[in-house]
Structure 1
Amino acid sequence: MKTVLYGGAFDPVHAGHVFVGHEALRLMAPSILILIPTGLPNPDFDKCLSASDADRMAMLQLAFARVPDVTISDFELSREPRPSYFVDTLEGLRPSLGVDKPVLLLGEDQLYSFPQWHRYQDILDQVELWFVPRAGRHCSDTPEVPARALFAINPFDSLSSTLIRNRLQQGLSVDGLVPASVAAYIAEHGLYRGQ
């Protein structure tokens, strides 16, 4: 059975994330999907989180509640506050991953910056790298980062967590862009408003 590791800020999780999760499970069957919300972001990438760890975990649980063979790992969230380096996460998860090489699933934009990841070559030695294509990106041809596309065309190509947050800040609807249960959670907890 293939283990697929799919990490990200999930700030918030959206319909594109859910679609990718479903497709990974379908195309790599039989497999299990481990979702890994980012802990403290690597400062090299100038990224910050808007929602709390607890809110991001809750939204992931709601979004994937009815999807079998999905686990949400709080590994990066439960570590002491320090930048999240995936090589450390991989080392920590190793005992639970079995003997086969796991798949690390990235967005193509992340694949583009992958050579800047901390000890990226050590990660490559331990995983099969797959990516979700993005329009206008062609970094899959980068010889130093061998990776396979999960599929040819991404129907959620223009959807991002940044877009969701921006719409919410402007008081616009996100219906259809996030699972209904996630939209309800965001509204109930007043997330991403006025930031």
Structure 2
Amino acid sequence: MTSPKKIGLYFGTFNPIHVGHLTIANYMVEFSDLDEVWIVVTPHNPHKKKKTLLEDIHRLTMVRIALEDYPKLKASNIEFDLPQPNYTVNTLAHLEEKYPESSFCLIMGEDNLKSFHKWKNYEVILERYELYIYPRISEGTIESKFTKHPKIHKVNAPIMELSSTFIRKAIKDGKNIRPMLSQNVWEYLDEMNFYKA
């Protein structure tokens, strides 16, 4: 009997997806025991009007085109059809039901681990799923109960200090940020005139 496929879930708004996201996702799939990484695009929360957030379909399209050359990385819109506001614990339960032959894990930055105790049903998540943590430079400390937890694995991925916020501002300011994005993502953004106004 084959063991279930181990899939890491990397959540985010990806507004836009950049080389930092790709580097971390690819590092996770190549240098850990994960078989695939799914980039899960978080939908726009209808209760929060965020002007800088592109429509769901555009962010998903950019993720899809960014991953074209990475067969172990997949774009996921699983949260688009779930009721809002949604919580990670619900998404995990939904995925488990939909893909019973796979085993799911969470990928998160060290900064998120510092506030993980505030997540809805975080104990349930830890009981049932493994966490793969990549390093981030951030303030605050990790709760001691998380530092040596058997289900929390620190992965020594490169520290990426690149943010989508920085990229959006740079585009608005007319800067050339082409090296920070996949070529096809840059072309799509440019053609659609995103973030320029």
Query: What TM-score range do you get, normalising by the shorter chain?
Result: 0.7 to 0.9
- Change in CA separation of 1:183 and 1:112 when aligned onto 2, cut-off 3 Å: same
Q: Which residue of 53, 66, 71 corresponds with 2:69?
A: 66
Contact preservation (8 Å) 1:16, 1:159: yes
TM score, norm. by length of structure 1: 0.85
Q: What CA distance in whole angstroms lies between the structure 1 residues aligned with 2:174 and 2:186? A: 13
Instruction: Say if 1:86 and 1:41 are closer, same or farther in 2 by CA, change over 3 A.
Output: farther
Q: Does 2:177 align with 1:174?
A: yes
Structure 1: runs of 5 or more not aligned: none
Deviation digits for residues 118-172 of structure 1 (CA, Å, limit 9, x no counterpart): 2222211221111111124564464247432221641x2x201111111111111
Alpha-carbon distance in 2 for matches of 1:123, 1:97:
17
**Aligned twin of 1:106:** 108
Kindly name which structure, 1 or 2, has the bigger radius of gyration based on alpha carbons: 2
Q: Does 1:151 align with 2:156?
A: yes
TM-score by length of 2: 0.84
Match of 1:88, SS state, is helix
Q: Tell me if 1:163 matches 2:166.
A: yes
Out of 59, 62, 80, the residue aligned to residue 56 of structure 1 is: 59
Q: Which structure 2 residues correspond to residues 73-152 of structure 1 after superposition, within 5 A?
A: 73-80=76-83, 82-98=84-100, 101-137=103-139, 139-140=141-142, 142-144=144-146, 146=149, 147-151=152-156
Segments of structure 2 that go 5 or more residues without pairing to the other structure are: none
1-structure distance, mates of 2:130, 2:54: 30
Report what 2:23 is aligned to.
19
Q: Which moved more, 1:128-137 or 1:9-18?
A: 128-137
Q: How many residues matched? A: 189
Please point out which of 7, 13, 17 is paired with 2:11: 7
